Structure 1
Amino acid sequence: MNTDTRRIPDRYGYAAIAHVMVDGADAAISFYARAFGAQELFRIAGPDGSIMHAEISIGGSVIMVGDAEAPFQSPARAGGTTVALHVFVEDVDVLYARALDAGAESLQAPADMFYGARQVMIRDPFGHVWAFLTQREDVPPEEIARRGNELLGSAG
């Protein structure tokens, strides 16, 4: 047994890993490659071709993808999603144009945000909401809170 094995693989360090459950994981992985420049790392498929587990990388972030089976549901079957996936990328404007060309729905056009990022928000054809960001300014948490509270007109 290798005693040097890390308990947390580098690709998972300091992150909560999203496991995106969809109806049609193979098609979703193809869409994520076209729209977001995702690279498939590997997949495990059942005898019927359904994807039990796959991993893709978008901008260096690992996202797990699989065909939705109990206890999970796809956003389409659930009637919506309760989460948004935030991924930092090198050029959010380029990604946004590519995603729309591939069939994503725009929820927010590129915009500079008070917390120092340029951000877009899209919905993929499988019902998941994605926020892609490109960091433009390093803003300390206290300043983010101040700007956000000022923008919202609250005391924080």
Structure 2
Amino acid sequence: MYESNVLGTQRMIAALLPALRAAAREPGEDGRPGHADILAVTSIAGTIGYEGGAGYNAAKFAQHALMRVLRLELAGEPIRVVEVAPGMVKTDFSLVRFKGDRRRADGVYDGVDNPLVAADIAEVIVHALELPAHVNLDEIIVKPVAQAAPYKVIKAPLVPKG
């Protein structure tokens, strides 16, 4: 987990940073000053720990720190640093987490009213990158309405109180 989430992110950024800086030097198609973007998908597990998630939490906390430090180190350059931190998203993540136990993995989402799917996160990413170059969404936390925290998920229809 640490290798792919932290070292992988760091290595990719280090390898691509010269090209990103070169791209940022060139004016855009609209004639405006150039810019570049670095976007990482982290997790709310990188800011709030949960039981049974020590390894994943540690990796995502480190990846979150990497993005915050990078934002500081690139200050003054026309390079946006964006972190998208999803909560629960109905993908194969739980299947991997529970070592192929489909019943247990599906149970994570049972009863959750409109869980997020990968396409929802993709839309957030596209939106963040299509904003004007002077707008930087440093950290975007994305959760289904049914999720208040990693450890608090409503598994029933959502209805107004009162």
- TM-score over 0.5 for the pair: no
Q: Which structure is richer in relative contact order (CA contacts within 8 A, separation 6 or more)? A: 2
What TM-score range do you get, normalising by the shorter chain? Answer: under 0.3
Identify, as 1 or 2, the structure richer in strand.
1
